[in-house]
Amino acid sequence: MTLAPEQLARLRRAKLAALVRDLGGDPGGPVDVGTSAASISDGRAWVLVPSGSAGALAGALLWCERAGAHSLTVFVDADADVPTVARWTGYFGLGAGAISVRSVDGATSNEAMASPVPEPVAVPDIPDELLDQLRDADVEIVVEHGYVRGEVLGLEVARLVRWPTEVGGDGELHLEAGVGRFDRDAVAAARPDEAPAESLARTVAQVRAHRYPGAPVHAVQLLVRERWLRSMVVEDPQLVGASQLGATEMTTEATGLRDVHPAAAVGTDPDGGPVVVVCSTGVDLSLVPLAADTRRRLDPDARLVLALPARDHHGATRTLVELLRGSAELVDVAPGWG
């Protein structure tokens, strides 16, 4: 039986109160913070973050800052990735106060240890002829999470896909054209005899007809705008005060074209120092923790730049930047869309 939202909220609040009492604390009157439950007593805050997402953690930190908390205990359900939440939490501070993370086990909890930053996914050996086909189509070649993509202003129009032997494939990489996986499958089904280069050229033409600076609003123009912003700063690093940038992967991966997810680039500034740029649009609470995590993997000492359109410099993002233990700066990048 599916519970109504208010029933779920009551259960979260009751669960948080039980967890706080188990540690000898005063739960006060728990309140809802998005899909989390939170309480504060004598400056000591407690937040139950069931999902363990970066955005939910950021929301908990914002609530604690506004409530004037001097310490925070974050409870995370055991079926979430608790060690990763503990790692993200380590990038933030509440003044001199401590922030701890605990894994929920029924009505009790255990201290959580932070996991190490994940290693980048190995890049497969790529046949030259496939790279040549991408270059000939004049697309941006982006390698992330072990995948090689062709993009037009940040939007995927092709991917090199290994055809598995388990389903009759040859185990080799092949060029597949299309805007995302479902479109690639549709292109292959509708035009099974078309050469990959021809499919790619047609897909690129269709996308470029709607995705260009100043284009009228169209569904193709609305997709993965954070990656569009990333393609802009890679093309012109001076937009973010860098001298050279290349696209790189985040420590987490978007699940689809409609999944709002930051996009990163890494390079050097005019003085030769390392710089990590993370692009986003709208109000994405996951931006700051995921950007800090990506910097940690690439270079903990790098300058961290958060690039957003001016209208998206939300107060919540600025507050999260202020709570970071390592510095970061917000930079305004005028978007290529209207």
Spell out the per-residue pLDDT of the chain, length 338, in tens.
677 888 989 999 999 999 999 999 999 889 999 889 999 999 999 999 988 899 999 999 999 999 999 999 999 999 899 999 999 999 999 876 789 999 999 889 999 999 999 999 888 889 999 999 999 999 999 999 999 999 999 999 999 999 988 888 888 999 999 998 888 989 888 888 889 999 999 999 999 999 999 888 899 999 999 999 999 999 999 999 999 999 999 999 998 888 889 999 999 999 999 999 999 999 999 999 999 999 999 999 999 999 999 999 999 999 999 999 989 999 999 998 86
Distance from CA of residue 240 to its chain's centroid? Answer: 19
CA-based radius of gyration for the chain: 22
Q: How far is CA 190 from CA 137, 156, 183, 184, 201, in A?
A: 21, 19, 10, 10, 16
Position 187 scores a pLDDT of 85
pLDDT value at position 137? 96
Residue-wise burial string across 52-89, b where 16 or more C-beta atoms lie within 10 A, e elsewhere: bbbbbbbbbbbbbbeeebebbbbbbeeebebbbbbbbb
How far is Cα 8 from Cα 175, in angstroms, rounded to an integer? 46
Residue 162 pairs in a beta bridge with 173
The secondary structure of 124-171 as a DSSP string is PP--HHHHHHHHHTT-EEEEETTEEEEEETTEEEEEEEE--GGGT--S
Query: Residue 251, Cβ neighbours under 10 Å: how many?
Result: 24
Token pair, residue 125, equals: 């050996």
Query: How many Cα atoms are found within 13 Å in the side-chain-facing hemisphere of 25?
Result: 23
- Please classify residue 9 by burial: count the beta carbons closer than 10 Å to its beta carbon, then call 0-12 exposed, 13-18 middle and 19+ buried: middle
pLDDT value at position 1?
Answer: 61
Identify the pLDDT of residue 60: 94
What is the helix (H) or strand (E) element at residue 265, kind and residue range?
A: strand 263-268
DSSP per-residue codes, 84-107: HHHHHHTTB-BTTB-EEEEEEETT
Predicted local confidence at residue 6, as pLDDT: 87
CA angle 267, 272, 274 (to 5 degrees): 40
60 touches 50 (CB < 8 A): no
**Contact 175/133 with Cβ under 8 angstroms?**
yes
Question: Which residue, chain included where needed, has tokens 């107060």?
Answer: 315
What CATH number labels 224-332?
3.40.1350
The residue with tokens 């390592």 is: 326
Residue 107: what pLDDT?
Answer: 87
Tokens of 245: 């940038």
pTM of this structure: 0.93
| C-alpha closest to that of 282 among 304, 308, 254, 247 | 308
Torsion angle defined by CA atoms of residues 201, 203, 246 and 174, in that order, rounded to the nearest 10 degrees: -70
pLDDT of residue 106: 87
Q: Where are the alpha helices (DSSP H) in the chain?
A: 5-22, 54-67, 82-89, 128-136, 181-190, 196-208, 219-222, 225-235, 287-298, 315-323
